Chains A and B, each alone.
Chain A
Amino acid sequence: MITAGGLLSGHAHFLHWGVVQISLANLLVIVMMAVLFLLAVIIPFPHAQHSAVEQEQADDH
């Protein structure tokens, strides 16, 4: 049977900061969400500028 391998397979790895503890997998998911959110805000949407110009031209007519 094929099983998942690597850092996230098997027993969970937990990170501890004082009273805070979180599994490595959960931390990675949260970091991934934050990175995706930043990219969603920073990366311009394809053709957004082009469409805005078209919209302005259509509104002018």
Chain B
Amino acid sequence: MTTNQPDPRSWTVRLRTRLARTVPAGQLLPDRQPAYVRSWIYVFGVASLAAFVYVIASGLVLSLKGSAWWHTSSAGHFVNSTHLWSVELFFMFMVIHLWGKFFMAAWRGRRALTWITGAVAFIGSVGTAFTGYLSQSNFDSQWTAGQAKDGLNAVGIGSVFNVLNTGQMLLWHVMLLPLVLGVLIVLHIVLVRRHGVVPPFDAIPPDRDHAEVTGPPGADDALSPEPVAPVLR
């Protein structure tokens, strides 16, 4: 007997259902947002994303052309410099976004995982930038590695993360850490789309229980099926 009903045991059906529940179609690319989204703090979030895209694009060009190019040619110097300065802007925008979200207590209302993915992405960015300094292939990278090795050996990670191993640091910088960072950023954006941005403190109507908006204790499963609707006054 044949049927048009999808087989619930199929992994593709289960994955499709899970994805559709995690980010419903209307939440993925919404055309309307609550009034409180009109804030410069979110502009800096998007600016961080734009800077990250440029960091990846300029990094791809540097990977294609190689160290001799970025050390000796004018075009190489230029792309190398824009790679550095886009990283500087990435950190600056991200820190301002982070400060703003901290003072908004942006983890309220089942948004803990959104906050955590952002914070871990920030820490991961520090590591990615650090391996970038080690991958310049000049005296600066040698000096940085020489200074860093003692500290990293002192905390016991020198055997698995050897800053004097240029090949290892280069691969961490161009492959491993950008991949991890990219996944974290995508997850962060998906969670923002899933739960919406956090409402202002005074957006909780007086007739509603605080726990109703912020979620009950321990209800921080950010991928739970029930969306938390933004509350407007």
How far, in Å, is B202 (CB) from chain A's closest CB? 13
Give chain B residues whose Cβ lies under 8 Å from the Cβ of A55: 34-35, 232
Residue of A nearest to B40 (CB): A40
Does A48 make an interface contact (CB < 8 A)? yes
Give chain A residues whose Cβ lies under 8 Å from the Cβ of B95: 33
- Count contacts on A: residues with CB < 8 A to the other chain: 17
Cβ-defined contact, A37 with B232, below 8 A: no
Query: What are 29 of the A-B contact pairs (CB < 8 Å)?
Result: A1-B74, A29-B88, A33-B92, A33-B95, A33-B96, A36-B44, A36-B92, A36-B96, A37-B96, A37-B99, A39-B40, A40-B43, A40-B100, A41-B40, A41-B41, A41-B100, A45-B38, A45-B39, A45-B40, A47-B38, A48-B35, A48-B38, A48-B39, A51-B35, A51-B38, A52-B35, A55-B34, A55-B35, A59-B232
B residues in contact (CB < 8 Å) with A: 34-35, 38-41, 43-44, 74, 88, 92, 95-96, 99-100, 232
**In the A-B complex, the 9 residue pairs with the closest CB atoms:** A40-B40, A48-B38, A52-B35, A45-B38, A55-B35, A37-B96, A37-B99, A33-B92, A51-B35
